[in-house]
Amino acid sequence: MSNLVFVYDPQFQKHLTPESHPESPNRLAAIESALHRSELIKQVRRAEPRAATGDELAAVHNPAYIEDLERKGNLARDQNARLEVESETFMSSESYDTAKLAAGAGIVAVESVLQARSQSAFVAVRPPGHHALKDKAMGFCLFNNVAIGARYAQKHLGVKKVLIIDWDVHHGNGTQAIFYDDPSVCFVSFHQYPFWPPNVGWYTEDGADEGKGYNINIPLPAGTGDEGYVKAWDAIVTPIILEYNPDLIMLSAGYDAHQFDPLGQQQISTAGYYLLSSRLADVAERTNARLAGFLEGGYNTKTLAESVVATMHVLNAADAQGRKDVKPFGSIYGGEVVEQTMDRNPQLVDERISTIRKHLSKYWKSLRNSSS
């Protein structure tokens, strides 16, 4: 296997939001600069994105919605304005083309990993995607990039089972809605709860019809921190991924659960993201699944960039030499695990994890033992 495939284009910085909006082009500039500082940029294999076609978008989104977005994009261009198409969700003159390129970047990534050019890929794009519904923009998202990539892999690359893991601090409501009744796409979302978006993401939302049991929500209280996330991963996510045995694992990689993020309060450290990334690489290796990570949120540009580099470093090392050769986090970045000071309730986290496990055990044999 060769090194991690990295899909990126400076065009992704041309989707503009108003001044002081958290979802800004600076996010990608910071990631680019951190990649160069880490020298990872010399190791990864860069791939150019292409725009998703109308048919590829329509495998997920309603045609009327796609047309509406194109119309609004043209309007933004004609007026040279940043139009608010939904609450806090904007389009500027190049947003429509950039959103199609972001969706197409995900397609390039799944093609790269499924055509055996690499085990893993990471897609650094804007606008993000996981809140976008079939027929509605939402939460800074226009097209659901990860969903479009998943459908493309199934329709064109022979993939049967996809597992999407979403560790953005916000619930991936768009992705949940798109695949809610579909057992061929298992969706797992870690998120702060209660939080935005409201009234969605509780663990009893576990799928519908044939998809019952394939929608896994892990709603965690504010301040859960690294330890709680890792516990939830080990108790719920690893057994489910091993039992589901997907062909392709897609990561909705949001970094707004970071302790220094201005939007979330989940208190994950950069080292915590490193640990989660290592668990992800491990389970992909154990199931022999290909892996594609898609950037979602993350609004402290410094910790976003460091955390993305941490994930990419783990995936690249997993590809190139085997994970055992990944250096400990601190030696790569000179970083330390920062003491987390926020009030926490580990007992509530433990109770929540065991409640979720119990609830899901009616669908998943691997959750029926007493190991948690």
- Which residues are marked as active site? 131
Site track 256-275 with Zn ion (rule: CB under 5 A), x = hit: x-------------------
User: Toward Zn ion, which CB reaches closer, 174 or 211?
Assistant: 174
Among 170, 191, 279, 313, binds Zn ion (CB under 5 A): 170
Site track 49-78 with Zn ion (rule: CB under 5 A), x = hit: ------------------------------
Binding window for Zn ion (CB under 5 A); candidates: 140-148, 152-160, 246-254, 351-359: 246-254
Three-state SS for the chain is CCCCEEECCHHHHHCCCCCCCCCCCHHHHHHHHHHHHHCHHHCCEEECCCCCCHHHHHCCCCHHHHHHHHHHHHHHHHHCCCEEEECCEEECCCHHHHHHHHHHHHHHHHHHHHCCCCCEEEECCCCCCCCCECCECECCECCCHHHHHHHHHHHHCCCCCEEEEECCCCCCHHHHHHHCCCCCEEEEEEEECCCCCCCCCCCCCCCCHHHCCCEEEEEECCCCHHHHHHHHHHHHHHHHHHHHCCCEEEEEECCCCECCCCCCCCCECHHHHHHHHHHHHHHHHHHCCEEEEEECCCCCHHHHHHHHHHHHHHHHHHHHCCHHHCCCHHHHHCCCCCCCCCCCCHHHHHHHHHHHHHHHCCCCHHHCCCCC
- Min dist CB 277 to Zn ion, Å, is 17
User: CA separation (Å) from 43 to 7, 14, 37, 295?
Assistant: 13, 26, 12, 20
- Min dist CB 145 to Zn ion, Å, is 14
Binding window for Zn ion (CB under 5 A); candidates: 77-85, 166-174, 217-225, 306-314: 166-174
Among 49, 129, 254, 293, binds Zn ion (CB under 5 A): 254
The Cα–Cα gap between 287 and 246 comes to: 7
User: Toward Zn ion, which CB reaches closer, 154 or 217?
Assistant: 217
Q: Which residue is nearest to Zn ion (CB)?
A: 297
Binding window for Zn ion (CB under 5 A); candidates: 40-48, 101-109, 170-178, 230-238: 170-178
Among 9, 168, 306, 319, binds Zn ion (CB under 5 A): 168
Query: Which residues 6+ apart lie within 8 Å of 21 measured at CB?
Result: 88, 90
- Min dist CB 370 to Zn ion, Å, is 34
User: Toward Zn ion, which CB reaches closer, 88 or 282?
Assistant: 88
User: Toward Zn ion, which CB reaches closer, 104 or 139?
Assistant: 139
User: Toward Zn ion, which CB reaches closer, 127 or 211?
Assistant: 127
Among 4, 6, 297, 303, binds Zn ion (CB under 5 A): 297
- Min dist CB 89 to Zn ion, Å, is 13
User: Toward Zn ion, which CB reaches closer, 23 or 182?
Assistant: 23
The Cα–Cα gap between 293 and 308 comes to: 10
With CB under 5 A, what is the number of residues at the site for Zn ion?
Answer: 5
- Min dist CB 224 to Zn ion, Å, is 15
Binding window for Zn ion (CB under 5 A); candidates: 25-33, 145-153, 292-300, 318-326: 292-300
User: Should residue 131 be labelled a site residue for Zn ion when binding is judged by CB under 5 A?
Assistant: no
User: Toward Zn ion, which CB reaches closer, 87 or 370?
Assistant: 87
Which residues in this chain contact Zn ion in the complex, by CB under 5 A? 168, 170, 254, 256, 297
